[in-house]
Chain A
Amino acid sequence: MGKQTPLYQQHLDANGKIVDFGGWDMPIHYGSQLQEHNVVREDAGMFDVSHMTIVDIAGPEALAYLQKILANDVSKLGFTGKALYTGMLNEEGGVIDDLIVYKMEGWYRTVVNCGTREKDLAWMNKQIEAFDATLTERPELAMVAVQGPNAIEKVKQVRTEQADLISELKVFQGLPVGEWFYARTGYTGEDGLEIIVPAAEVAQFWDALIAAGVAPTGLGARDTLRLEAGMNLYGNDMDDSISPLQAGMGWTIAWEPSDRDFIGRKALEAQKAAGIPSKLVGIVLETRGVMRSHQKVVVDLGDGNQGEGEITSGTFSPTLQHSIAMARVPYDTGSECNIEMRGKLIPARVVKMPFVRNGKKVFE
């Protein structure tokens, strides 16, 4: 038996099919992954993401510390609650983890992945020694993501006393109310909230959301939703050996100011100067079949040269009704490729991600 979140009984009550997920017993679906996916695109669904790791950073040098360990620049956060997405890199420029940082009043909140918790905390604890700052993990807090076009309205029905605060949240902003924390962020490509809740109160909150018509949604749909939205999954689409430049995360690197010496900067500059060896692209297969992780991608590099890449995440897109994938391919890959599936090469197209945003197809 793995670790259980404070919502474990709720998952059983909703007929959740429980699987091991990074040492946690989590619901993969509650009956139909496809239906749960569609509910998030069309109405409102909710995910238990209490397994994710919340780490608060405070102290006089909290900002300087985060500016050292993160590739994006926390000093860009202009107002309280504003969030940014960033990689935390090793000296070689590889991604230790991807995370969100929220700027609070004199402190910062970060949310990191569950599967990387131990190495993240070890790294963050080691780096903080040089700074007058503190790092506090918050395992007593649970987290629920409520996502979909009607998600915010339904949360407001349940948390009426916070409706005004929720209405005023800008995209990518999160604000605390006591121990609760409401953030307009997500991992689905839909509008919605990620809400941090004291563990003792989360079951009641979940039940109230069900009563308001929010559908429990499993990790299976979470994966198809994030892939349609073109969002990376740590461990699939990037890892310690892959730089943000190779993972579609170039936009998260703050090169200016040029004297900010964040960890990994020198390696990224060297990689840029030498030529980036690979890139992460979106692939669509509009015929039958489903692309899966680790399948081989064959690309034509011109002049009769062929190159090889690999699917990093692949699935059937319920919104588009065909397969979509992310793949790491040679940097000079053009708009066409072939996927090796079950011993055959199947032609597919390279497209700009995301695939789906706010329920609609985006790519050409």
Chain B
Amino acid sequence: MSNIPAELKYVESHEWLRKEEDGTITVGITDFAQAALGDVVFIELPEVGAEVEADEDIAVVESVKAASDVYAPIAGKIVAVNEELVDAPEKANEDPYGDAWFFRMEPTDPNVLDGLMTAEDYAAKCE
């Protein structure tokens, strides 16, 4: 069974989003995504400072099985990336909602999360 924390928001491309106190949004891949990918062996992250559109492919996850794009779930600016994840890609399998966050964004629309899937919506999609 997939772990889908109730306090997060989700998008169709299997990324989760969390609003931080400073208004930035942290993004990672879901437990469902990591299980489908299998063991992750390389991760490429976007550049800090990049302005990205929603659905733009900005990161790559290579697993033993395949290379997969990671999409910007919303429009905005990349303000931080998780460099430690690049050195320890297995964390994407071990702790997808914690240590394995991918990047942090400053959203163009501060209320963008309101329109995204809840844990319940996402769970229904993963069935």
- Chain A: residues with CB nearer than 8 A to chain B? 28-29, 32-34, 220, 224, 288-290, 292, 315-316, 318, 342
Write the nearest CB–CB distance from B70 to chain A, whole angstroms. Answer: 13
Neighbour of B65 across the interface among A220, A288, A289, A318, CB < 8 A: A220
Q: Which of B24-76 contact A (CB under 8 A)?
A: 38-39, 41-42, 44, 60, 62, 64-67
Neighbour of A220 across the interface among B38, B42, B62, B90, CB < 8 A: B38
Q: Is the CB of A316 within 8 A of B41?
A: yes
Bound complex: CA A110 to CA B67 (Å): 37
Q: Is the CB of A316 within 8 A of B44?
A: no
* Count: A-B pairs, CB below 8 Å: 34
Closest chain B residue to A341 by CB distance? B67
Bound complex: CA A28 to CA B35 (Å): 12
B62 cross-chain contacts in A, Cβ below 8 A? 289-290, 316
Q: Is the CB of B64 within 8 A of A316?
A: yes
Q: Is the CB of B39 within 8 A of A288?
A: no
Bound complex: CA A289 to CA B62 (Å): 7
Bound complex: CA A28 to CA B67 (Å): 18
Closest chain A residue to B93 by CB distance? A32
Q: Is the CB of B38 within 8 A of A33?
A: yes
Bound complex: CA A17 to CA B67 (Å): 20
Q: Is the CB of B67 within 8 A of A220?
A: no
- Chain B: residues with CB nearer than 8 A to chain A? 38-39, 41-42, 44, 60, 62, 64-67, 90, 93
Q: Is the CB of A289 within 8 A of B42?
A: yes
Write the nearest CB–CB distance from B74 to chain A, whole angstroms. Answer: 24
Closest chain A residue to B39 by CB distance? A34
Q: Is the CB of A292 within 8 A of B66?
A: yes
B41 cross-chain contacts in A, Cβ below 8 A? 34, 290, 316
Bound complex: CA A224 to CA B64 (Å): 9
B42 cross-chain contacts in A, Cβ below 8 A? 288-290, 316
Known: A289-B67, A316-B64. 7 other contacts (CB 8 A): A29-B38, A32-B93, A34-B64, A224-B64, A289-B42, A290-B41, A342-B67
A220 cross-chain contacts in B, Cβ below 8 A? 38, 64-65
Write the nearest CB–CB distance from A35 to chain B, whole angstroms. Answer: 8
Q: Is the CB of A33 within 8 A of B67?
A: no
B66 cross-chain contacts in A, Cβ below 8 A? 292
B39 cross-chain contacts in A, Cβ below 8 A? 32-34
Bound complex: CA A242 to CA B9 (Å): 51
A290 cross-chain contacts in B, Cβ below 8 A? 41-42, 62, 67
A32 cross-chain contacts in B, Cβ below 8 A? 39, 93
Closest chain B residue to A224 by CB distance? B64
Bound complex: CA A113 to CA B80 (Å): 50
Bound complex: CA A348 to CA B111 (Å): 46
Bound complex: CA A33 to CA B67 (Å): 16
Q: Is the CB of A33 within 8 A of B64?
A: yes
Closest chain B residue to A317 by CB distance? B41
A–B Cβ pairs within 8 angstroms, 5 of them: A29-B38, A32-B39, A289-B42, A289-B67, A290-B42
- Which 3 A-B residue pairs are closest in the complex by CB-CB distance? A34-B39, A316-B41, A290-B62
A33 cross-chain contacts in B, Cβ below 8 A? 38-39, 64
Bound complex: CA A318 to CA B60 (Å): 19
Closest chain B residue to A288 by CB distance? B42
Bound complex: CA A224 to CA B65 (Å): 10
Write the nearest CB–CB distance from B39 to chain A, whole angstroms. Answer: 4
Closest chain A residue to B60 by CB distance? A342
Write the nearest CB–CB distance from A223 to chain B, whole angstroms. Answer: 9
Write the nearest CB–CB distance from B58 to chain A, whole angstroms. Answer: 13
Bound complex: CA A272 to CA B32 (Å): 52
